[in-house]
Structure 1
Amino acid sequence: MLFTVLIGLITSSLIVPFGKFVKTKWGIILAFIPLLLFLYYLQYLPLINWDRSYVQHIDWIPSLGINFDFRLDGLSLLFSLLITGIGTCIFFYAKSYLKDDPYIDRFFGYLFMFMSAMLGLVLSDNIFLLFTFWELTSISSFFLIGFNNEKIESRKSALTALSVTGLGGFFLLAGLVLIGNIANTYSISELVSKAQLIQEHQLFPYILGLIILGAMTKSAQFPFHFWLPGAMKAPTPVSAYLHSATMVKAGIYLLARFYPILGNNTAWTYSLMIIGGITMLYGAFHSLFRTDMKGVLAYSTISALGILVFLLGLGTQDAIIAASVFIVVHALYKATLFLITGIIDHATHTRDLSVLQGLRKVLLPVAIAGFLAAISSAGVPLTFGFIGKDLIYEATLHSEKHLAIYLTVAAVITNILLVSAGFMAGIKPFFGKLPENLRK
């Protein structure tokens, strides 16, 4: 597992002296690296189950309890496949999308660094190793969001994202230090067996608050959501990779990973249900009032992240299954919608939904992809999205009896609003009469 993390970092460093190679047609070879990593992790799919995982231990600073401990289980495998699978599509797409950019070599260097940081984060079995990669994702995303650094908006958005996620990293580190000191271990696997000790400690409320704050900032939960719409100043491949499938789900991963340690109590349940519930309704509602395609997708992403936090707050087996499926569902349709947005932006030089229409006449394959992504986001039967939405409703209906109806109503309202957002971004630009200025 270590080599899968290092290969991206090594490739990123080699791009510095061999950047000219990336600018040639042979630069497409770089896209095969995440593909090979995807195939590597895919082979573990039939081998991983509830009782079986793979562990790699390498001494780093054993005197401080800090080691290169990696663990591949169901949760980390799910995220590893998303990181490398969606990453493969993004790398191929970016090679064409940025083919005329003089700094495309720099872009791929940042992208490889980010991919490795995300892999390291989800595979880490040591809390300080996890935190190291957590911060590396913030740093690499700073460079990616601010890639168009000649524009003041890009620089401002990058600084805002780094400031918010960096502040969250500070909270997270404080919480991790407290957990490690109480349990006298920094191994995540060992912390699970000491969950009762941690939850009965007088500092547990502070630990819970610090960990949740760290996750909230990374996964754009209300009121820390504002950095995500601003980050849409980044090139479209960045938005598709970081802000739909990977980085924004790092906070979701953190909550899921620490659920066996900190969860299964009312403080955890109600905190996440309230935070996630507010975020999912807020994001879905605000997505209706955006005319920029990226703006619509940004707020619908915030809402989807709220749904995931909401489900993790429920904490039932049905809710965990629903969250796992929805992580994949959302990554697939949202990355597709972002990539479609990039194609439209390249072809028309605008993302304004008030002027975009009739594009099916000139971008028919893209229109078909947009239609499929939109109906999946809407949960239309026979689509993967239908399974995801159905599992969400099943989780809310099987929650506590006195809350089931309210939670289900909130989920239904959110999904109705998200249906509208998906159709605005995936279908509206392709129907109607093609404007004269777009016929060329």
Structure 2
Amino acid sequence: MTTRTIIRGGRLLTMAEGEAGAVVSEGTLVLAGDRIEYIGPGDVEARPEDEIVDGRGKLYMPGLVNTHGHAAMSLLRGLKDDVNLQVWLQEYMWPTEAKYTAADVRAGTELSIVEMLKSGTTTFMDMYDHMDQVAEAVEASGMRACLNRGVIGLCPEEVQRAKLEEAIRFARAWNGAADGRITTTMAPHAPYTCPPEYIAKFVEAAHELDLPIHTHMSETAREVEENAAAYGVRPVEHLRRLGVFSRPCLVAHGVHLTDEEIDILASHGVGVSHNPGSNLKLASGVARVPALRKAGVRVSLGTDSAASNNNLDIFREIRLAALIHKGVSGDPTAVPAAEALRMGTVEGARSLWLNDVGTLEAGMKADVIAVDVTGPHYQPEADLVSHLVYAGSGADVSDVWVNGKQLVRGRVCLTLDEERVYAEANAALRRLRG
């Protein structure tokens, strides 16, 4: 008989459809195996083997979903700030990343996983190299992830071929692994780093493997201008012609889009991972999120890497998403608090093609976080959704479950040795700087 976790007396925020993300009630939450068995009012009779959790003072909600990032780049946090994207990439990031070993990728990924788990993220999308190391770290940590071998195609044809073969091998090997917690996609890095014929090969592979595609797109004005100069069209039309949107697709950033381009994304069901913190820090601009949402484009939230953000707290992205579009548009209703919270939970899950993650409902995966709402910034208890979005942070997260297994208890990570992770990350940075 499956041992259950019965959480009594907590506030419950389901994020279920039709509730607008704004219904908070007290009740009981029961986790059985990897699923939610019951959520609702009243109590459930416990069996002797069940674990009983006192939920008083906590708000239980779906785990946060980070739909774009590069976990191993946490080693480069603070390496170079306050420059634009091209300078940041070409003069600082890429030269340092060229020194990375597989062990460095593992160290940086584990550091990011600890940071994400302790701030309430239970699922993340990751695009990088040495992806077997990333997948092994995810498997060991108990986290959920959508992973892809991101490929830059600015290299000789034989190197391109080897990278593509590696991406295909990784996607095949890890899709559905770790008790289904790992899924995979194909990921040409961006239209400005991959020649058109090379992107077409990724599209072909995605069709053969029946996998989605993830890529960077229209992050900066310069990128858009150079794409138009090189290929005669802007990135959206460029990728459409190459067949990228013939697969389920999630693009990162989508900052510089016209009305026509937004309509193209909507008509092809392409999702956009909105990365407000990274886009602001690199002065890339502010994505047209209200226009995207009005057109029916699914918008989720990502942190990008800890090198460009410089943190992985999705609560901060939720707050930014709710605030910056008000300021840019002059419309205080542009992105309401509840909708920003949906972008960081259920919309993120759906953007990663996960249909049983993102809400707290019976039968859904037991990916749950507990937020301590006893602090002064949650008082008085006027509207806990408002408090979460405008006053809360990842530092308020006390407990985390993924697939029904508790990964964080009392702000302590249970599956990774935090002291070891921090020591290995600092050792890796010293070597990379040496």
* TM-score (normalizing by structure 1): 0.31
Q: TM-score, normalised by structure 2?
A: 0.32
**Using CA pairs below 8 Å that are at least 6 residues apart, which structure has the higher relative contact order?**
2
